[in-house]
Structure formats: C-alpha cells, structure tokens
C-alpha cells in the first residue's frame, strides 16, 4: 500500500461532438485519441458518469484490450479514472490483454457491474491504425443502445473529469495491488489476472475435451491450422488447442499479440486471411480457422480451403447442436441471427421447431434475449458465432463447436456442409463491401434508394436479368422491436424481398473509422439438390446486377468494384 494517499483531482475539459458509439463502441484513428486533448478522458468519464453513483461506488469492473497500439497507455489512464470515480476493484488482464470473449466471461465470473474493452476489433492497428473503446454491462455483453446513447449525450456536454494522476499500476505481475486514495475510506484494488485460465476453464465445462483431444492428437487425428492473425487470441489458442488438446505447436500461427498485428488487417475473411487460405490449398490440413484482433470473430475452412460462410456456420452448429455437451445439459431455447445474415439458420429452426429471432446488426441485440432465457445460439454474417455461455461472440468457442461436430460425425468439413445443404437446401450468400466511400455520397444513395423502395408501386415490380425474373414481395427499412424490453431500433438496413425468398439488403457499416462503408448483402435460397454446388458469385450475379442498378451504387460513389467480396 502507498504511504501517503493518492490525490484525486477534478479537471476541466471541453466536449467533442463525435463520440457516439457505433455498432460496437467508439472507433477512431489512433491519432484522434493521441492528439485531441482529453479525447480519451472525456469518453471514459462519460462511461463512468452513465453509471449511477450508487452502483458504481465500491463496485468491481473489468478492463482489458486486444493489445493494439495505445492499449497500455490508455489502460493507465482508465485505471487512474476508475479509482477517482469510485470503482472499488478493477480486474485487468495481464499486460493489459484480454480477448473480448474472455472479458465477457470474466465480467460474469467476477460479478462485475461491467467492463471496458479496448479494441477496434478487426480494424488495423499501429500508430496509423484504429483504436476503440467499448463498454460492456453486468451481463458481460455490449451495452444496449439506451446506454450508449446516454454515454454519447454525456460526452456532448462534459465539463470535467476525475482522475488520480499519480496512480501507477504494474500490469505485468499477476496478483493484487491496493492503493490508498485521498478522501476515500476504502483502498482501491487492482487485480491482474491470467484471463486465459478463466476462459479455458469455461470452455472445459462446455465441450468434451477428451473427445476433442482424441480428434486432435489421438491415433487417427486430423491436422489443423489456426491463424491468430497476431491478435490477442494467440495465447488462448496455444494454451487450449496446443497445450491442452494436443495439437502440434506449429499448427497455430501468428500467436504472439502485436501492437500493429504485424502490419496486417486482423480480419478473418477470404481477403485478409488469404495466407491461411493459401496454406490450406494443398490439402495438408483438414481444418483451418482464423480469428480477428480481439478474438471474437472466426472463419472456418475445410480441406483444400473449402470455405464455410458464417451464415452457414451457425446453421450447421444449430443442426448439430447436441454434439456439444453444454446444450445436452442446458437444452436449446431459441436461435437468432442478425437481419442481413442469410436465412440458413431459419431452415434449421423451422425443421427443429425452435423459435428464431431476427435482430439488427450488432451483438448487443442478442443479450436481452439470452438474459430472458429465449436464446441459446446465434450468429452473424460478419464472422460472428456464439451462444449464451457468455454475451459476446466467441471465435475459439466456434472452432471447438466445429471440431465437436467433426469428432461426433467423423466427417470432413465439406461433407458436413454438403450434407447440410442436401437436408435443408442452400442459402447462396454474398456480401460486397465498399470501404471508405465519401460519406455524403453514401448517405444520399441510401436516402434515394429508400425513396424508391418506399413507393407503393415498388411492391409487385418485376426485375428481369438474362433468363431470370424476380418479383418484389416486400421492401422496407428494417426496424426491430425488442421482445424483452419493447425498445425500438429503426433504420437498420434497407431490405428488398422477392417472391422466391431472395433478399437484397443495403446497410451502412457502423464500425469504420473514416468515410463510410456500404455493405450490400444478397441471400437466395435453393432447394434443388442438383443445384446446391454452384459458385455463389455466378448463382447470385443477377441479383447483384439488380442491386447495383437500383441503387446506382457505382455511379454515385465513383467505385466500379467492391473492396472486399465475401
Ligand atoms: C461488430 C459487432 C457485430 C457486427 C459487426 C459488423 O463486430 O459486434 O455484431 O456484426 O460489428 O458491423 P458493421 O456491419 O456495422 O460494420 P466487431 O467484431 O467489429 O466488434
């Protein structure tokens, strides 16, 4: 304990107008946090001020980040501000590192009132990259819109913040540190924890580790390749997959977290994880997976780089859910997907008579359903898959879910997938991303398109491309009414739904840090078993043509092709 109590100061500041959290927290370029005076302090104070003092006083909170550039500097400031704002105990990942799913797990285990996550997820890091801050609530999940809106409103008028500027915490040593503060009766405690162990322990209670060990290191073991993309999940992969389940050390690559993710874009998709895709092609590995910077996203590949789309991935897990012991014990209460995610999960829900929920994009919308006992398994097209074991999507959990399916069925990834399509039909799916587009052009395009599709005459209209004709059945701007608390979220994406079940969806992303990102999603169902093995880009080309023509996307943005196609 320090000899003389540490000073608690209240310092003046001036508000910024641009601290509204997006789909998943506040994401900005690093230089914004570094060079704009008190930019970090303002947002952190807004988070603390949004929590009722009676709840905050003496409470426990969790703090961790994905290790990106500015992580450690930000943590020191947040610790100083947590102490000054009356938080009693902070649980922090060793070296300031904690994957997003691990933060969710630790919040729940330590009965914290919430946690602060320092991550911009899959966005690039380093001095020229992005930094991000997210607030999670007591259930371990991202704060719902009502809370993020409150934080934003506070940030718009903030005039001062509280801080203990002399407080320094040692982030490297696991254990407890206590600090005496001026005018506070109780010492402020910091607990540095090895979050890998807590998280691994949780997974041990969900999966059959003996069966997974047999699959990965038994007599007829399969070969896997996991790419942690230099993100925070590396140590978790090493500990769980290699040390504990016996996969060879060289089966996990890029496992040392780096401040700039090795100069890579830590986004597990076919474009940014192309190294993994390449290394899978020669058939040496039976199973491959990649994760994002903070370890909540996943991409699943089979032998020769066979790609499992995230929308299919959650549907396959749903159809094989009892391969996972957790669900054998807990039962299955419901499934959910975000609106732009393909309807593959709906087909399983229908067949198994399990309730399906369609929510807006953003993991935060699943939390209420889980807390109310309505939801067990959910997924998003943006490479997110998870369950009610925590309140975040969970990349490593998804990998163990798939390995459990392979262990039970004794089939390859491709065989599992093709069999699934034969049983349930296939939802062909693609997403086009146009990144860093001019914001005004993007907003204008969305407004114009909304006008077109809101016209009464739009319903019933026919679109013919080549030999195919699609007739509009319904079109709207997606709106969600939360069945648990009745809150309404509007403007969640423009949907054009056709009579044959196909959908065209346009949305502006809420996770970028500069310009606008337009996302175009196409979903089309095929149940003829002779037509389930086609190339999605060929299969969906007519719908893409219709979408581009209707929106005039290329003309309006000056782009002639997407940045990323998934
Ligand atoms: C976040 C959210 C996800 C969402 C994704 C994409 O993921 O947690 O729920 O699907 O962003 O959002 P958008 O389409 O608005 O960019 P992450 O992994 O970035 O935290």
- The bridge status of strand 494-498 relative to strand 480-481 is unpaired
The atom of ligand 1 lying closest to the CA of 363 is 9
CATH of span 426-565? 3.30.310.50
Which of the listed residues 293, 382, 434 should we mutate to test ligand 1's pocket, taking the one with most ligand atoms within 8 A of CB?
382
Task: Determine the Cα–Cα distance for residues 476 and 505; give it in Å rounded to an integer.
Answer: 10
% pLDDT > 70, the chain? 99
Predicted confidence (pLDDT) at residue 12 exceeds the cutoff of 60: yes
β 175-179/224-227 pair status: unpaired
The closest residue, in CA terms, to atom 6 on ligand 1 is 382
Residue of the nearest CA to atom 18 in ligand 1?
121
CA distance linking residue 266 with residue 395, whole number of Å? 13
User: How far apart are alpha carbons 290 and 227 in whole angstroms?
Assistant: 5
Reading the block at residue 377, the tokens are 């398994």
Q: What is the reported pLDDT for 514?
A: 76
Residues 410-433, mean pLDDT to the nearest whole number: 96
Q: Cβ < 6 Å from ligand 1: which residues? A: 23-24, 121-122, 292, 296-297, 338, 361-363, 380, 382, 384, 509-511, 519
Pocket test for ligand 1, best of 122, 143, 380, 506 (most atoms within 8 A of CB): 380
Taking CA 387 as the corner, what is the angle to CA 223 and CA 319, rounded to the nearest 5 degrees? 65
Q: What is the pLDDT, as a whole number, of residue 186?
A: 84
| Share of residues in the chain with pLDDT > 90 (%) | 92
Q: How far is the CA of 382 from the centre of ligand 1 (A)?
A: 7
Cα–Cα distance measured from residue 353 to residue 350, given in angstroms and rounded to the nearest whole number:
5
**CA 112 to centroid of ligand 1, rounded, Å:** 24
Contact (Cβ atoms closer than 8 angstroms) between residue 122 and residue 266: yes
Each residue's pLDDT tens digit, 95-122: 999 999 999 999 999 999 999 999 999 9
Residues of the chain with CATH 3.40.120.10: 9-193, 199-424
Report pLDDT for 24. Answer: 82
Give the β-pairing of 89-97 and 60-65.
Answer: parallel
CA of 297 to the centre of ligand 1 (A): 9
**Angle at Cα 273 formed by Cα 270 and Cα 275, nearest 5°?**
110
Pocket test for ligand 1, best of 124, 231, 511 (most atoms within 8 A of CB): 511
Q: What integer pLDDT is reported at residue 1 of this predicted model?
A: 46
CATH-assigned architecture of domain 199-424 = 3-Layer(aba) Sandwich (3.40)
d(CA 494, CA 478): 6
Say if strands 426-437 and 114-118 run parallel, antiparallel, or are unpaired.
unpaired
Closest residue to atom 2 of ligand 1, CA basis: 362
Question: And the tokens for 462?
Answer: 């026919």
Residues 149 and 62 sit within 8 Å (Cβ to Cβ): no
Residues 6+ apart with CB under 8 A from 378: 314, 335, 336, 337, 357, 366, 385, 386, 387
Distance CA 44, CA 202 (A): 29
pTM here? 0.92
Whether 345 and 337 have beta carbons less than 8 Å apart is answered as: yes
Q: What is the mean pLDDT of residues 242-271?
A: 94
The pLDDT mean for the chain works out to 95
Listed in sequence order, the residues at least 6 apart from 405 whose beta carbon sits closer than 8 Å to its beta carbon are 316, 317, 320, 323, 416
3-state secondary structure 170-209: CCCCCEEEEECECCCCCCEEEEEECHHHHHHHHHHCCCCH
For residues 423-448, give the mean pLDDT: 95
Quote the ligand 1 centre to 16 CA distance (angstroms): 24
Catalytic residues: 121
pLDDT category of residue 228 using cuts at 50, 70 and 90: very high
Q: Whose CA is nearest to atom 3 of ligand 1?
A: 362
On the question of pLDDT at 267 being above 70, the answer is yes
Cα of 5 vs centre of ligand 1, distance in Å, is 42
* Residue with CA closest to ligand 1 atom 1: 24
Residues of the chain with CATH 3.30.310.50: 426-565
Q: Kindly report the CA angle at 407 between 401 and 409, in degrees rounded to 5?
A: 100
Q: Residue 564 is encoded by which pair of tokens?
A: 């990323």
pLDDT band at 2 (very low <50, low <70, confident <90, very high): very low
* Closest-lying ligand 1 atom to the alpha carbon of residue 519: 14
For the chain, the straight-line distance linking the first and the last C-alpha, in angstroms and rounded, comes to 54
The mean pLDDT of 287-300, rounded to a whole number, is 97
Segment 440-497, tens digit of pLDDT: 999 999 999 999 999 999 999 999 988 889 999 999 999 999 999 999 999 999 999 9
| Euclidean distance between CA atoms 312 and 421, whole angstroms | 9
* Number of neighbours of residue 458 by Cβ within 10 angstroms: 15
Confidence band of 510 (pLDDT split at 50, 70, 90): confident
- Residues 335-383: pLDDT tens digits? 999 999 999 999 999 999 999 999 999 998 999 999 999 999 999 999 9
For ligand 1, atom 19, the nearest C-alpha belongs to 121
pLDDT > 70? residue 261: yes
Q: What is the mean pLDDT of residues 414-426?
A: 97
523 confidence band (pLDDT: 50, 70, 90): very high
Q: Are 306 and 270 in contact (CB under 8 A)?
A: no
Interatomic CA distance for residues 151 and 419, integer angstroms: 47
Q: Which atom of ligand 1 is found nearest the CA of 511?
A: 16
Please identify which residue in the block is written with the tokens 């969600």.
480
Q: What is the biggest distance separating any 2 CA atoms in the chain, rounded to whole angstroms?
A: 82
**Ligand 1 atom closest to Cα of 380?**
10
Q: Which residue's CA is minimally distant from atom 7 of ligand 1?
A: 24
9-193, which class in CATH?
A: alpha beta
CA of 33 to the centre of ligand 1 (A): 21
Distance 495 CA to ligand 1 centre (A): 19
Q: Report the C-alpha gap between 53 and 59 in whole angstroms.
A: 10
């Amino acid at each position: 304990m320090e000899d003389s109590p540490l000073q608690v100061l209240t310092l003046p500041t001036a508000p910024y107008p641009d601290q509204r959290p997006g789909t998943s927290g506040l994401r900005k370029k690093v230089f914004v946090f570094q060079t704009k005076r008190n930019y970090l302090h303002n947002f952190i104070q807004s988070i603390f001020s949004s929590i009722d003092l009676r709840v905050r006083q003496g409470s426990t909170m969790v703090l961790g980040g994905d290790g990106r550039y500015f992580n450690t500097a930000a943590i020191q400031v947040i610790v100083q501000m947590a102490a000054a704002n009356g938080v009693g105990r902070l649980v922090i990942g060793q070296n300031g590192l904690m994957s997003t799913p691990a933060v969710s797990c630790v919040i729940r285990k330590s009965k914290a009132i919430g946690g602060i996550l320092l991550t911009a997820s899959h966005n690039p890091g380093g001095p020229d990259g992005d930094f991000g801050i997210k607030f999670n609530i007591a259930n371990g999940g991202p704060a719902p819109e009502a809370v993020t809106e409150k934080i934003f409103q506070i940030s718009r008028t903030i005039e001062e913040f509280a801080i203990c500027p002399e407080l320094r915490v040692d982030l490297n040593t696991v254990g407890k540190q206590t600090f005496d503060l001026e005018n506070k009766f109780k010492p402020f405690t910091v607990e540095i924890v090895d979050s890998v162990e807590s998280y691994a322990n949780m997974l041990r209670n969900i999966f059959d580790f003996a069966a997974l060990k047999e699959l990965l290191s038994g007599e007829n073991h399969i070969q896997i390749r996991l790419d942690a993309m230099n993100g925070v999940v590396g140590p978790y992969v090493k500990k769980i997959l290699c040390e504990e389940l016996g996969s060879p050390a060289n089966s996990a690559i890029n496992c040392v977290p780096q401040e700039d993710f090795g100069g890579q874009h830590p986004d597990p998709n076919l474009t940014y994880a192309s190294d993994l895709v390449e290394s899978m092609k020669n058939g040496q590995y039976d199973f491959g997976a990649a994760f994002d910077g903070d370890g909540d996203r996943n991409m699943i590949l089979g032998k020769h780089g066979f790609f499992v789309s995230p929308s299919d991935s959650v549907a396959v897990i749903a159809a094989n859910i009892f391969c996972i012991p957790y669900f054998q014990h807990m039962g299955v209460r419901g499934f959910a997907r975000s609106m732009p995610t393909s309807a593959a999960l709906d087909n399983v829900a229908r067949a198994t008579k399990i309730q399906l929920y369609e929510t807006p994009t953003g993991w935060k919308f699943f939390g209420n359903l889980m807390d109310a006992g309505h939801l067990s398994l959910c997924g998003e097209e943006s490479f997110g898959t998870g369950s009610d074991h925590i309140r975040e999507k969970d990349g490593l959990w998804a990998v163990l879910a798939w390995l459990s399916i392979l262990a039970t069925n004794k089939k390859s990834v491709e065989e599992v997938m093709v069999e699934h399509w034969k049983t349930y039909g296939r939802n062909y799916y693609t997403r086009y991303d146009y990144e860093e587009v001019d914001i005004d052009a993007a907003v204008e395009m969305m407004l114009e398109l909304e006008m077109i599709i809101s016209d009464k005459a739009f319903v019933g209209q026919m679109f013919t491309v080549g030999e195919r004709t699609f007739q509009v059945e319904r079109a709207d701007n997606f709106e969600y009414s939360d069945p648990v608390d009745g809150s309404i979220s509007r403007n969640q994406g423009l949907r054009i739904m056709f009579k044959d079940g196909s959908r065209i969806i346009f949305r502006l992303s809420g996770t970028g840090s500069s310009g606008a990102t337009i996302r175009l999603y196409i979903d089309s169902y095929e149940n003829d078993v002779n037509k389930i093995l086609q190339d999605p880009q060929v299969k969906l080309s007519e719908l893409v043509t219709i979408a581009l023509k209707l929106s005039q996307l290329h003309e309006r943005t000056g782009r002639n092709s997407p940045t990323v196609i998934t």
